Structure 1
Amino acid sequence: MDHENVSATLMVAAPAATVFTVLADPQTHAAMDGTGRVQEPLDREPLSEVGQVFRMNMYHPDHPDGNYQTANKLHVFDFPRAIGWYTGYDPKGDGQLEFGGWFWRYDLAPLSLSQTEVTLTYDWSQVPQRIREYINFPPFGPEHFTDSLRHLAALAAPTTPSGASEPT
């Protein structure tokens, strides 16, 4: 872990295009999450371009309301190599989004036709001091990143017609 970002890398037994498709589907994000905070998407459309916003229902026991929503804005969309988004919210409920300065990014490097090296990076280098005063970064342990990548690998794994994973 560096001072203002953390990353983890895992080899995934799936083609880069398949892994990217899982990442670009907001409906897979709750299953991919390593913290249990991501709940369900409010926007179910596949992610397709820089600037697109997708909202997620979230839960955190230390959040004042427990349940809350995030609005994530794509800032990287390079099929099938990289995808990333800033996490924000709509503080007044008027559609004017604010972003806290942290982002998620997945970089995919094909190792073969059926294997992809995936690096997940969480970066908070642009978070202003006023936010750092009440959120400790990163707001979860390093196991989150490994867990999330393992969940991604399981979601992207090829399956046989019966639904069972193919042997590796």
Structure 2
Amino acid sequence: MHTMTEENVSATLTIAVPVTRVFAVLADPATHSAIDGTGWVQEPVDRAPLTAVGQLFRMDMYHAGHPDGDYQVVNKVQALDPPHAIGWLTGQRKTDGRLEFGGWTWRYDLAPLGLAKTEVTLTYDWSAVPRYIRERGIRFPPFGPEHLTNSLHHLAELAASAAPA
């Protein structure tokens, strides 16, 4: 099930896996390419687990519509409340070395349903995208809402096969 407003889209799925195990999968950048429902996320550049708000982690990406095809994003952890929430803001490193974030975020909210099930809500929010980016003609969201549902199903498969946290 997914919902969409003018500024965000979300999907929710109940996973038959304990909340701590689901959170551990999400906090590991090495799993993000397998979770991604678009195929754009490739490999993590930074493999350290996500443990702190403000932590940066880079991911290699590929998108046929991107001017370079292959590119890299820098994510900044914005929400980290183990095992209930994890989220990040996506941006890039400019040629002068400074970071620029586009204003879109990814967030997972986890609610334990007993000891062995977790309700997971994935939200992609673009409400903070500045006007100058919107005026470039970038469509938000840049994917259909089924992407979030696909990602949650991938997460469920990974979490079910992961070692207990």
TM-score (norm 1): 0.92
Q: Which moved more, 1:131-140 or 1:34-43?
A: 131-140
Q: Which residue does the alignment assign to 1:110?
A: 112
CA distance in 2, matches of 1:40, 1:13: 27
Which structure 1 residue ranges, 5 or more long, are not aligned? 161-168
Aligned partners of 1:14 and 1:158 also within 8 Å: no
Q: Deviations over 1:100-121 (max 9, x none)?
A: 0000000000001010000000
- The amino acid of 2:86's aligned partner reads I
Match in the other structure for 1:70: 73
- 1:35 matched to 2:38? The reply is yes
Distance 1:19 1:151, change over 3 A: same
CA distance in 1, matches of 2:99, 2:114: 40
Q: How does 1:5-154 map to 2 (within 5 A)?
A: 5-92=8-95, 94=97, 96-134=98-136, 135-154=138-157
Paired residue for 1:163? none
The amino acid across from 1:126 in the alignment is A
Aligned residues: 159
Aligned partner of 1:164 in structure 2 is none
Which SS does the other structure have where 1:112 is aligned? coil
Letter in 2 for 1:116: T
Q: Which secondary structure does the structure 1 equivalent of 2:113 belong to?
A: strand
The amino acid of 1:45's aligned partner reads A
Whole-Å Cα distance in 1 between the matches of residues 92 and 162 of structure 2? 36
Q: Separation in 1 of the partners of 2:104 and 2:25?
A: 22
Is there any run of 5+ residues in structure 2 with no aligned partner, and where? Answer: none
Mapped partners of 1:93, 1:47: distance in 2: 26
Further displaced range: 56-65 or 130-139: 130-139
% identity of equivalent residues: 66
For 2:123 and 2:55, the matched residues in 1 are separated by 20
1:158 is displaced (CA, Å) by: 4.6
CA drift of 1:38 comes to: 0.1
Q: What's the CA shift string for 1:30-71, capped at 9, x where partnerless?
A: 000000000000000000000000000000101000000000
* Contact 1:15/1:115 (8 A) holds in 2: yes
Contact 1:40 1:57 in 2 (8 A): yes
TM-score for the superposition, normalised by structure 2: 0.94
Structure 1: 4+ residue segments shifted above 4 A: none
